Chains A and B, each alone.
Chain A
């Protein structure tokens, strides 16, 4: 009897998505049940995390088929950590959705699809089979298509067409790469591939395959020339949807890149230069894109791209210190980016617009709320001792010791530009006086809400801010965890041993 703990998060998500489907018309019930489901999901994720933390990598073989033949689920430290972060973001966003998304949208099975999205994310993190990873990716994208187009507003549909076209194309490239890889190695199990890909004689084809994977996951994680779909679509759906997308969807691409380039392909000099180069260009293009916009949600979308560059470059360095930085940054980024879009949602509820030029005086009107919002904003910048500071320290140290001065410069530039953008946002939206305010009819403003509804808006932000503060002030724990994950990533024999001889 093997231990099936690590597939519990999948079962919880699947169960609740099915339960919610049966109450399609009963919105209030769905709201309550989705929050309960995500709370249980968080509990299970914490259990899985502690279980993996204490007992090391866990393996579950689906249908009891032995490892290289059947599909395996592998819960190593990286996967368990990401499952935990998914559950935290999921809980926060489900509370936020229950108030901020209008009922007309919720009537089309919003919460059920939301659970499916979390199911896909957890599956993608936990699977140890590369074709199964593709299937989870498809579950993620099809749920995200529904979430992005639900409601059917004009610019939402337009964003959805762009989002759909590029993500579908990315999946096709991923599938092509998979086909080529299967043709070369004859196996789909990632641990088995790790050994077999090394012994393939046709190295050119292996390199082509690696680059195809890079392009496929690169589109999904929005790295330099492939990011255009992101700022064109992320600001169109409701803030709750953008929050979960921002926090997790691009990061699952980064996760897949880390997995594929640590397990299956070796990072050689060519790939190293390519990844670092792409990382630098991603930082620059995201940062400069953010400068040119005034819509808060659009600025945040570009900042996602900018910070993806940090992780891609760090992956390119592939030293233990750099990977520690990458993993720590991933942990910090998921929480903070989710929070940023929730904040944008609250600002929209207060002012009925997210254009920084048209809003102001937030600090004068809502001083306590503004201070709460300040914490994630400054964590993003990386003001010590908040959470963004520690991973950048590792990344900068690694880039310096590896003599990658361009990447070093890009890191400094990216951090500086983030600081500038957040300072501009702060001075425009929070400190500037309110420019002339045209009250929109039919819009329920924040101050008109009942206290409980206000709490529903603010509680998820408080939850995520608390987690951010913990990541910042309890950095030694997170650093320890990141070092352990980085060791597991660099020493892939542990993973292979766990999967092939359980």
Chain B
């Protein structure tokens, strides 16, 4: 399971970064989405995967004992998903507006701000 997740995380990172480096702004968005998911999986993986051991204290005990699944990475991922959802929806609107105004989706054409005016 860990190995599979590690490979998927690596693939998502690679694909995301590759897409960000392409010239089209639509691919930029796809890259951002993939990278965001890759990061979430990474946090999930690094929080150690424990199967079938929920962090619930039974009635007879006072503290958790033995191996149990860490709930914090899941909380972190949830937060990160919400944030990246907001950012991605903003990005889609921004790119749509930018495409309408600039009339190109080629990032190499976006160089008017580099000139002096």
Contacts and interface: CB of A to CB of B under 8 A. Distances in A.
Contact of B36 (A155, A161, A172, A178): A172
Contact of B35 (A145, A160, A172, A355): A172
Contacts of A180: 42, 46
A182 B46 contact: yes
Contact of B90 (A142, A165, A178, A236): A142
Contacts of B72: 182, 188
B112 to A, nearest CB: 6
B97 interface: yes
A178 B80 CA distance: 11
Contact of B113 (A146, A162, A171): A162
A158 B94 contact: no
A154 B116 contact: no
Interface string B105-117: 0010010111011
Interface string A442-484: 0000000000000000000000000000000000000000000
Size category of the B interface is 35 or more
Interface string A218-254: 0000000000000111011000000000000000000
A179 B48 CA distance: 11
Nearest to B70: A186
B113 A183 contact: no
A164 B91 contact: yes
Contacts of A168: 32, 87, 91
A159 B91 CA distance: 13
Interface string B1-42: 000000000000000000010000100100010011001001
Contact of A135 (B28, B47, B79, B107): B79
In this complex, the member of B28, B83, B86 whose beta carbon has the largest number of chain A beta carbons within 10 angstroms is B83
A153 B3 CA distance: 48
A434 interface: no
A50 interface: no
B114 A232 contact: yes
Contacts of B98: 157-158, 160-161
B47 A149 contact: no
Contacts of B113: 155, 158-159, 162, 232-233, 235-236
Contacts of B90: 142, 145-146, 164
Contacts, number: 102
A136 to B, nearest CB: 11
B69 interface: no
Contacts of B83: 135, 138
Interface string A286-303: 000000011100100000
B95 to A, nearest CB: 7
B101 interface: yes
B106 to A, nearest CB: 12
Interface string B50-93: 00000000000000000000101100100110010011001100
B25 A161 contact: yes
A154 B86 contact: no
A145 B94 contact: yes
Contacts of B112: 154-155, 158
Given A175-B39, A175-B43, A182-B46, A162 B91 contact: no
B39 A158 contact: no
Nearest to A354: B117
A164 B28 CA distance: 10
Contact of B87 (A142, A157, A298): A142
A197 to B, nearest CB: 15
A262 interface: no
Contacts of B73: 179, 182
B20 A154 contact: no
B110 A158 contact: yes
A180 B46 CA distance: 7
A16 interface: no
B76 A131 contact: yes
Contacts of A138: 83, 87
A208 B91 CA distance: 30
A294 B116 contact: yes
14 contacts: A145-B90, A152-B101, A161-B25, A162-B110, A162-B113, A165-B20, A168-B32, A168-B91, A172-B32, A182-B46, A183-B47, A232-B113, A294-B116, A295-B116
4 pairs of A and B residues whose beta carbons are closest in the complex = A183-B46, A179-B43, A157-B98, A138-B83
